[in-house]
Amino acid sequence: MNGVEGFMYPNEVELVWSVLIVLYPYITGLVAGAFILASLERVFRVDAVKPTYRLALLTALSFLLVAPLPLQLHLGHPERSPEMYFTPHSTSAMAMFGYVYLWYLMAVLVFEIWLDYRRDIVLRARRERGLLRLIYKVMTLGSDNISERSLHIDERVGWVVTLIGIPSAFLLHGYVGFIFGSIKANPWWSSPLMPVVFIFSAMVSGIACVMVIYMATSKLRGTTIDMGCVDTIAMYLFYTFIIDFSLEMLDLIHRIYEADESFRSLNFMVHTKLYFSHIVVQIGLGTLTPLVLLAITQVTKLSEMARKRIYALAGALTLIGIFAMRWNVVIGGQLFSKSFLGYTTYKVGMVTREGLPVAIALTLLPLLFLWVLVKLLPPWDDASAAHGATGD
């Protein structure tokens, strides 16, 4: 049979979960990671990362809006998805995700962004004309109170929302890991470490994503990159990455030492079918290389230009590496037979609902959403300073 080696059960030959299911944990991971970066400033008072606070929130929102789309395209019948809310199934982790998603979207991200931008929204509603004015007016919810006291209340409430948001972000992405980790029939997935690994890899990818977007947008806008800010982000990226890598290695060592009945088959798969995506891309290019690059910036004194280049390269490689990690989890877990005697092949479709063009479009769509959000709610300091009129 085409692409099959050894013995496969008939239902294992075709992969059920495609590249879109790879994208889904990748995107939710970016959401959770970006939010955790934002919380550094808000809750942990890391002032150095302040220039990226709003950008991180908008990035998280842009990616969160796209997060359900891969699932909708994979499952088909999007008109049925509201039924998940109307008839909640409390013992289905996948069904409960709908509520986690909605909670995180509305009670955490949208609320926090609204609180943080409320002053700017009110000022813009006063200043703009036409359709923009109407949009901002709607966003004020009819309240143009931006007195010092009301803004102080926003600040306090925003802090609480961020505090609630941190476990929510962990829940959002921990759930994704939980889904895989709880599939006991699949030894490649079934591990209680899976949710923890997913959370830390999410933080790594989200931090790297915001760092790269911040540097890219600064370059595009022709503004100076705040090196104190990116140095701090890179430091946190480095530390988080070390924890993430340690956890993944712990999982690997545990598997090797335990060497259960699936080990020989999985080991063979990692050295053959998954060699390029797992060993070369995920571990070599996407983990060890950025770790070494970031370590160099931590232990040596490099020029600003060299640091910028290293951060950009390390950030991009990290994003590729985490995508490869998702790929290896989702696709890798479907390439071997439960009999441990055979392997199948996954070929990404082209002109299908779950093909490569769709996957690329879904990867780029959050950037389009981010562009619209940035136009509507500029996250830059100069934008809010430009019309610094005080309220009533």
Partner 1 sequence: MSAFRDAGHLLRFAGLFVLAFIIFLVVRKFVVPKSFGEYGHYRGAAIGEIAAHPAHFAGHQACEACHADIADEKKGGKHAHVNCEACHGPLGKHADDPASVTPAKLDTAVLCVRCHAASVAKPKNFPQVDAADHANGVPCETCHKPHNPALEAGGAK
- With binding defined as CB under 8 A, does residue 129 bind partner 1? no
Options 143-151, 279-287, 326-334, 373-381: segment touching partner 1 (CB under 8 A):
143-151
For residues 99-128, which are near partner 1 according to CB under 8 A? 106-107, 111, 114, 118
Task: Check: CB of residue 325 under 8 Å from CB of residue 282.
Answer: yes
Nearer to partner 1, 86 or 257 (CB): 86
Residue 1 binds partner 1 (CB under 8 A): yes
| Site size toward partner 1, by CB under 8 A | 27
Q: How many alpha carbons lie under 13 Å from residue 124 in its C-beta half-sphere?
A: 23
Q: How far is the CB of 97 from partner 1 (least distance, A)?
A: 16
Which part of the chain contacts partner 1 (CB under 8 A), choosing from 1-9, 29-37, 305-313, 320-328?
Answer: 1-9
Of 107 and 316, the one with the shorter C-beta distance to partner 1 is 107
CB nearer to partner 1: pick between 111 and 268: 111
CA distance 108 to 168: 8
Could you give the CA distance from residue 37 to residue 31 in angstroms, rounded to a whole number? 10
Q: Which of 232, 239, 312, 229 is nearest to 50 (CA)?
A: 229
- Least gap, CB of 115 to partner 1 (angstroms): 8
Q: Which of 220, 151, 202 is nearest to 370 (CA)?
A: 220
Provide the 10 A C-beta neighbour count for residue 50.
17
Contact between 160 and partner 1 (CB under 8 A)?
no
Chain centroid, CA 12 distance in Å: 29
9 binding partner 1? (CB under 8 A):
yes
Write down the least CB distance from residue 135 to partner 1, Å.
16
CA 316 to chain centre: 14
CB within 8 A of 93, min separation 6: which ones? Answer: 175, 178, 179, 182
The single residue among 16, 79, 87, 351 that binds partner 1, judged by CB under 8 A, is 87
Size (the chain), residues: 392
* Pair of tokens at residue 163: 């505090």
The single residue among 44, 80, 143, 280 that binds partner 1, judged by CB under 8 A, is 143
Q: Can you give the binding site for partner 1, defined by CB under 8 A? A: 1, 6-10, 82, 85-87, 89, 106-107, 111, 114, 118, 140-143, 145, 147, 149-150, 153, 157, 342
